[in-house]
Amino acid sequence: MLAWGERCDLWDDVVDWTLLEEFKFGDIPEDRFVMTSWHENQTLDEVFAYCKQLVLFDSVPLAQTVLLHIARQPAEQRIMDAYVQA
What's CA 7's distance to the chain center, in Å?
14
Question: Measuring CA to CA, which residue among 53, 39, 57 is closest to residue 83?
Answer: 53
pLDDT for residue 27: 96
pLDDT for residue 57: 74
pTM of this structure: 0.82
In whole angstroms, give the CA distance from residue 30 to residue 53.
22
Q: What total number of domains does the chain contain?
A: 1
In the three-class reduction of DSSP (H, G, I as helix; E, B as strand; rest coil), residue 71 is classed as coil
Give 25's pLDDT tier (boundaries 50, 70, 90): very high
Q: What CA–CA distances, in Å, run from 61 to 1, 12, 56?
A: 15, 22, 10
Q: pLDDT tens digit string along 27-84?
A: 999 889 999 999 999 999 999 999 988 887 777 777 888 999 999 999 999 999 999 9
Residue 14 scores a pLDDT above 80: yes
List the domain range (segments joined by +) for residue 19. Answer: 2-85
Q: What CA–CA distances, in Å, run from 81 to 29, 52, 53, 77?
A: 35, 14, 16, 6
